Structure 1
Amino acid sequence: MTERTPVLRVATRSDVPGIAELMRRSVLDVFPHFHDERETAAAARYLTEPDTALIDDGTYFVCESDGQIVACGGWSKRDKLYTGSGDLPTDDRLLDPATEPARVRAMFVRGDRTRQGLGRAILAECVAAARAEGFRSLVLMATMPGVPLYRSFGFRDVRRTEVPLPNGVVLDGLSMEYPLSG
């Protein structure tokens, strides 16, 4: 049976179980190429919880193929930078598009579907939507598996950083930005 071309669409609450399954599978498939076993296990536990605020805001997308979610990701007009960063009182604060960048959030692609343009298609949707809302730039906190995609899309490195997880494991991270003007 031939796989159909993936359909990119806005995620709904009914997608949450499929998104969670994809996130975990993606981490377990892709992270071992960049992280050790302990780091991969921690990422699979702490970075794979779907953020329903993104879904409720209509800023989260899924790529679906043959009834399965094979990629997901989105952007946020809220202050939270990434899942796993802990809960802060300002997480739900709406950003000011004139002075603050929108956030790219929770990008995952199934291991057997990487390098097929799915992440790039989601990023293009994020750019168009954030630009339409008046944002002037996007920022993200990349884990190492995402860096090649973000760089090839045009994101610029800002600074290397660490992504501490609740169990004490620390992942290498890279803060990145993408201008929406000009």
Structure 2
Amino acid sequence: MVPRPVLRDAERDDVPGIAALMRQSVLDVFPRFHDERETAAAARYLTEPDTVLVDDGTYYVHEAAGEIVACGGWSRRDKLYTGSGDAPSDDRLLDPATEPARVRAMFVRGDWTRRGLGRAILDRCEQAARAEGFRSLVLMATLPGEQLYRAFGFRELGRTRVPLPNGVFLDGVSMEYPLSR
């Protein structure tokens, strides 16, 4: 019998498990969309948990039988995605009246995909950001997540090539979701 995953707020003690899940998710899912070099770069540079999200209470995990099988969240801060490098404004609080909240660091372990875990995390993000007065959500989707975000209702703003620190580029899709629905 497959254990039912429980969605909860992430805690600082979860960070090592989140990091392991992020890396495993990339290794499981990215090869369907990216070559070996891109997958390796993503596993290295996109899988560092952002503890600010955990500390802010805006990051969530799905836990099943004591294991973290999915994670993701949103941010009221200026940083758009892990791997974008450090910028002086990363910790700046966004103005909910004029700026969109950011969906951040969504990962699902390969053997747990297509079970509604990502959608449940997005639902939680939407509710929390709306409650804080945000009018929209934005994100930078990697190709493995694009289908989920489109199905949820995000619309594409543009496509880009995201540079990683080792010179590898990943295809990215800038997306937006209005909270006025």
| TM superposition score category, shorter chain reference | over 0.9
Residue 43 of structure 1 corresponds to 42
Residues 112-127 of structure 1: pairs in structure 2 closer than 5 A: 112-127=111-126
Q: Is 1:177 aligned to residue 176 of structure 2?
A: yes
C-alpha offsets along residues 50-90 of structure 1, whole Å, 9 cap, x if unaligned? 00000000000000000000000000000000000000000
The alpha carbon displacement at 1:5 in A equals: 1.0
Q: 1:159 maps to what in 2?
A: 158
Q: How does 1:114-153 map to 2 (within 5 A)?
A: 114-153=113-152
Give 1:71's aligned residue. 70
Question: Once superposed, which parts of structure 1, at least 4 consecutive aligned residues long, lie more than 3 Å away?
Answer: none
Say which SS state the counterpart of residue 160 (structure 2) adopts: strand
Residue identity (%): 80
Q: Partner amino acid for 2:180?
A: S
Q: Residue 4 of structure 1 aligns to which amino acid in structure 2?
A: P
Distance 1:41 1:28 in 2: 8
Letter in 1 for 2:78: D
2 CA distance for matches of 1:71 and 1:138?
20
Deviation at 1:4, TM superposition (A): 1.8
Shift of residue 136, structure 1, vs aligned partner: 0.1
Corresponding residue SS for 2:114: coil
**Code of the aligned partner of 2:119:** R
SS of alignment partner, residue 84 of structure 1:
coil
Give the Å deviation of 1:169: 0.2
1:7 lines up with 2:40 in the alignment: no
The alpha carbon displacement at 1:3 in A equals: 2.2
1:163 partner SS? strand
Three-state SS of the structure 2 residue aligned to 1:3 is: coil
- Across the aligned residues of Structure 1 and Structure 2, the Cα RMSD in angstroms comes to 0.4
Secondary structure in 2 aligned to 1:88?
A: coil
Superposed displacement of residue 162, structure 1: 1.3
Structure 1: which amino acid aligns with 2:145? G
1:15-43 deviation line (CA, Å, top 9, x unaligned) = 00000000000000000000000000000
Aligned to 1:25: 24
Long gaps (5+) in structure 2: none
Residue identity matched to 1:143: T
The aligned length equals 181
Paired AA for residue 137 in structure 2? L
Give the counterpart letter for 1:103 in structure 2. Answer: R
